[in-house]
């Protein structure tokens, strides 16, 4: 069975947010359009969403008074329960079957580092296997960080993996292109759904 993983489509990663991608809001709306059609077509047995959900992520936020390097350290973003951590309003959250939170007390890029809300002993990989999922499609924000990490971990966990390239928003176009090359190299199928 195939599942869709919607990665970090959150206010802080969309225009106006603390760590905005240029195409974040557009991608949020496109994912909703795609999901509605996919649900009608029965494309997925399950749809899961991931969220950055930071409480005190050691070393992930740039120390006060220092500039983030945008590789290891970042502006403060996606604080647990904050508006910035909520799903972007263009994403129809009623289409998501389960949510996985990541990064409460550590940097966490991959959705596979996440756990269901209120169940820290469980994991995304466990949940997918419990639901007889053996293949996943990945989309969301940001191509060059959390989408890439989620796709690479999905391969490492033994899933058949596709990334829906036009349903991803990169931090930078160059970073997004490099990420797609890295994903392809480890066997991820890159699929363009031709929305644009």
Could you list the active site residues?
8, 102, 146
Distance CA 146, CA 50 (A): 10
Q: Residue 62 in contact with residue 69, Cβ under 8 Å?
A: yes
115 vs 4: CA distance, rounded Å: 16
Helix or strand (DSSP H, E) at 49:
strand 46-52
Q: Tell me the β-bridge partners of 162.
A: 137, 189
Provide long-range contacts, Cβ within 8 A and 24+ apart, for 169-174. Answer: 169/13, 169/21, 169/22, 169/23, 169/24, 169/26, 169/27, 169/140, 169/141, 169/142, 169/143, 170/21, 170/23, 170/142, 170/143, 170/144, 171/21, 171/70, 171/142, 171/143, 171/144, 171/145, 172/144
């Amino acid at each position: 069975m195939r599942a869709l993983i919607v990665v970090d489509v959150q206010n802080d990663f969309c225009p106006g947010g603390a760590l905005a991608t240029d195409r974040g809001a557009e991608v949020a709306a496109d994912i909703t359009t795609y999901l509605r059609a996919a649900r009608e077509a029965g494309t997925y047995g399950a749809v899961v969403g991931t969220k950055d959900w930071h409480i005190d992520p050691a070393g992930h936020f740039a120390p006060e008074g220092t500039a983030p390097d945008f590789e290891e350290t970042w502006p403060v973003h996606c604080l647990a329960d904050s508006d910035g951590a909520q799903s972007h309003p263009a994403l129809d959250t009623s289409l998501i079957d389960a949510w996985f939170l990541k990064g409460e007390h550590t940097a966490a890029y991959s959705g596979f580092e996440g756990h269901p809300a209120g169940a820290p002993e469980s994991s995304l990989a466990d949940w997918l296997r419990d639901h007889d999922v053996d293949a996943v499609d990945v989309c969301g924000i940001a191509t060059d960080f959390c989408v890439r990490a989620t796709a690479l971990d999905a391969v490492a966990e033994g899933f058949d993996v596709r990334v829906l390239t036009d349903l991803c928003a990169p931090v930078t176009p160059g970073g997004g292109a490099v990420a797609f090359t890295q994903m392809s190299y480890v066997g991820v199928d890159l699929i363009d759904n031709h929305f644009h």
